[in-house]
Amino acid sequence: MPRLAGSRLEGKVALITGAGNGMGRAASLLFAAEGARIIVADAVDDGGSATVDAVRAAGGEASFVRVDVSDDAQVRAMIDHAVQTYGGLHVLYNNAGIFPADDGGVTETPESTWDRVMDVNLKGVWLGCRHGVPAMLDSGGGSIVNVASFVALMGAATAQIAYTSSKGGVLAMTREIAVEYARRGIRANSLCPGPIDTPLLAELLSDPERRQRRLVHIPMGRLGQAEELAKAALFLACDDSSFMTGAALVVDGGITAAYVTPE
């Protein structure tokens, strides 16, 4: 098998949830190119297996584990799979998340939608850290990267109460974990993307008018690319960010820097 050129994650084991497509797949490929062995975790077998195949085709090492991140037993088994397969865990990238189409205003969003979003987007991150942290301590420490959102820092132009609330929770939880483990060799940071051109967002913005309402608020005038987020996640995952913990890295095309009036 040919050696890959990168070295920023050489010898590391990286677990990435939601790795079956979009940002998770892009991160899997990039982290593997930088020397990490990848645990591809996803709720969909086909997507996860395709990511593993892509990593291996590029000369990397990867293994797939099916997981519903809202299920405690499955998350525990996911972490066990990482340790049993590659001998430890050094990078935990909690990327999995959902954004249902009926997540809207505070008075319109169904309770069932609220509960499911919280289960996946917030509880899922907590469970990943709950079971991942002990494995990381046993491995000598490492880096946790939790995906929040720019809407954790400001209100969304289009109502999405459950998603926005869940990502605000991720931001607060990440700070708490960062402080708790700062002197035990584990860093924890949040990644706050703006709108990224992924299959999930493409489905949500399939209506051209709805898509344009989003684009008008992005100073750069375009959606971000999954590869751009992967590079930001790599920075947080590797020692390039060795003095960063409890921080929120915003990668949003300038949205949070601009003042606009929602239409």
**Cα–Cα distance for residue pair 58/76, rounded to 1 Å:** 29
Q: Is 86 tagged catalytic?
A: no
**Cα–Cα distance for residue pair 75/65, rounded to 1 Å:** 10
Q: Which residues contact 40 (CB under 8 A, 6 or more apart)?
A: 16, 19, 20, 24, 28, 48, 51, 52, 55, 62, 63, 64, 65
Q: Considering the candidates 86, 93, 163, 181, report the single residue annotated as catalytic.
A: 163
Spatial contact of 179 and 246, defined as CB atoms under 8 Å apart: yes
> Which stretches does DSSP call E strand in 95-213?
142-147, 186-193
Can you say how many angstroms the Cα of residue 228 is from the centroid of all Cα atoms in its chain? 13
Query: Which residues are part of the catalytic machinery?
Result: 163
